[in-house]
């Protein structure tokens, strides 16, 4: 019987491999038709820019525009929102003041206290005649699928990004290719983006173990780019473009260029350029004095490892801040498998705890800042739809530097000579690293 089981298992391996590839293998989607949204000019692009502060900012801006189709712009007001209390409080206040539309796109939306508070705020605005459009990832927000009946009854709209399609045998299910973006646009005037989803797990008022995270509140012409990204995703998910003319009518008159240089970056499997990955690597290569990075998931590719180690070997101040234990043990082990070469090159690695670090940021020198939804891993750079904002501004850089310095106080530095037993460290890390392309 055992022999027969082995023979059957070996015979079925090719078919099992096909099923695994069919569900999890590489996929590309074609959204070229959505590019027409940009070219039609329904939502005008940004105006002229102020002079660059960082010596390589203009080159990075041109690169960003070339690989995303979104031109560089500016912001009149930028607020770094640290942790959920700051983000959710500001967001609910802005939604309460909405008069035209509220557009939201999230990866995770949980049907908990935080989710209920936001849903009820949207219901109130929908009843007041404000157009509410909520786009959620069908996998990340699956638990909230029956949670939005009050919003729909109030006149709000709900769409799901990439339902799994398991019933369609000949069409590959969207096991990967999720929208990991976090975008809110209110009246085309105020926008939010960054690392925070909608969940009690990211509100420190509801528990001491809440994630440590970072989000952005933006005003100015950069909001138009985030509006455009949302509209592309909504059009793709719903198959409808009829809403574009009404959105364009609701947009305020273009704001005068603000004092902060800001550029929205997007990436996803509908583009071969890996824009956010490319901009991260290019920004690190442009560094003159320092590279400070925070990320919850650190699974770098060859180009990113080369950039980080080259910067450290050249004598720059390179610091990497990661969680001591992230919410995936496999990712934690995979990340630690990369520490060796980084430490030898001179990168200072710090592990933050006891809370889970979830902020995603990059600080280069004294002016360049990237704050994103994207983690520093293959999934974010190649499989997910992500959004990031690139700033060229000494004030924002100083604020982020102060925030990271404060977090380093709770993040012991990883030492080169630390004990690494074979069975408890080296072997599990090596095995986890084999899964890196899927992490």
Catalytic residues: 180, 182, 187, 358, 360, 365
- Rounded Cα gap, residues 381 and 48, in angstroms: 29
- Rounded Cα gap, residues 96 and 258, in angstroms: 25
Both tokens of residue 289? 């004095």
The strand pairing partners of 321, in sequence order, are 294, 350
Q: Per-residue DSSP letters for 137-171? A: ETTTTGGGTTS-HHHHHTT-EEEEES---TT-TTS
Q: Is 318 helix (H, G, I), strand (E, B) or coil?
A: strand
Count of C-beta atoms within a 10 Å radius of residue 153 = 11
- Rounded Cα gap, residues 222 and 15, in angstroms: 49
Per DSSP bridges, beta strands 77-82 and 361-364 are unpaired
Q: Are 164 and 140 in contact (CB under 8 A)?
A: no
Kindly list the distances between the CA atom of residue 14 and the CA atoms of 11, 17, 25, 49, 168, in Å, as whole numbers in the listed order. Answer: 7, 5, 15, 56, 22
Instruction: Name every residue whose Cβ is closer than 8 Å to that of residue 248 and which is 6 or more positions away in sequence.
Output: 42, 43
Sign of CA pseudo-dihedral 119, 123, 125, 130: positive
Kindly list the distances between the CA atom of residue 47 and the CA atoms of 50, 74, 186, 369, 390, in Å, as whole numbers in the listed order. Answer: 10, 8, 21, 21, 17
- Rounded Cα gap, residues 399 and 11, in angstroms: 60
Q: Are 197 and 182 in contact (CB under 8 A)?
A: yes
Of the candidates 214, 216, 190, the one whose C-alpha atom is nearest the C-alpha of residue 202 is 214
Q: What is the dihedral of CA 287, 288, 294, 300, to 10 degrees?
A: 50
């Amino acid at each position: 019987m055992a022999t027969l089981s082995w023979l059957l298992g070996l015979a079925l391996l090719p078919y099992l491999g096909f099923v695994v590839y069919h569900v999890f293998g590489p996929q590309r989607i074609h959204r070229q038709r959505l590019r027409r949204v940009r070219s039609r000019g329904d939502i005008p692009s940004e105006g002229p820019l102020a002079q660059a502060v960082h010596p390589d900012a203009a080159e990075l801006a041109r690169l960003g525009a070339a690989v995303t189709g979104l031109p560089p712009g500016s912001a009149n007001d930028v607020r770094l929102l640290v942790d959920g209390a700051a983000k959710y409080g500001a967001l609910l206040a802005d939604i309460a003041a909405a008069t035209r539309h509220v557009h939201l796109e999230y990866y995770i939306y949980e049907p908990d206290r935080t989710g209920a508070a936001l849903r009820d705020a949207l219901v109130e605005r929908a009843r007041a005649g404000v157009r509410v459009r909520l786009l959620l990832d069908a996998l990340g927000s699956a638990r909230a699928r029956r949670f939005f009946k009050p919003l729909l009854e109030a006149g709000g709209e709900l769409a799901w990004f990439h339902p799994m399609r398991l019933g369609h045998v000949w069409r590959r299910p969207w096991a990967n290719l999720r929208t990991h973006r976090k975008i809110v646009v209110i009246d085309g005037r105020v926008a939010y983006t960054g690392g925070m989803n909608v969940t009690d797990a990211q509100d420190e008022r509801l528990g001491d173990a809440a994630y440590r995270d970072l989000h952005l509140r933006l005003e100015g012409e950069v909001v138009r780019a985030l509006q455009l990204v949302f509209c592309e995703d909504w059009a793709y998910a719903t198959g409808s473009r009829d809403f574009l003319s009404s959105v364009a009518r609701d947009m305020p008159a273009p704001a005068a260029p603000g004092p902060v240089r800001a550029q929205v970056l997007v990436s996803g499997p509908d583009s071969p350029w890996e824009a956010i990955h490319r901009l991260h690597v290019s920004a690190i290569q442009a560094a003159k004095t320092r590279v400070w990075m925070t990320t919850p998931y650190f699974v770098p590719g060859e180009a990113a490892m080369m950039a980080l180690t080259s910067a450290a070997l050249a004598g720059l101040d390179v610091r990497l801040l990661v969680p001591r234990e992230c919410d995936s043990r496999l990712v934690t082990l995979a990340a630690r498998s990369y520490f060796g070469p980084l430490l030898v090159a001179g990168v200072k690695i710090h592990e933050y705890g006891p809370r889970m670090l979830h902020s995603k940021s990059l600080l280069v020198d004294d002016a360049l800042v990237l704050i994103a939804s994207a983690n520093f891993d293959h999934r974010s750079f190649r499989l997910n739809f992500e959004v990031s904002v690139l700033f060229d501004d000494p004030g924002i850089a100083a604020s982020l530097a102060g925030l990271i310095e404060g977090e380093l106080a709770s993040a012991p530095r990883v030492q080169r000579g630390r004990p690494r037993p074979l069975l408890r460290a080296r072997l599990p890390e090596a095995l986890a690293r084999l899964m890196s392309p899927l992490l």
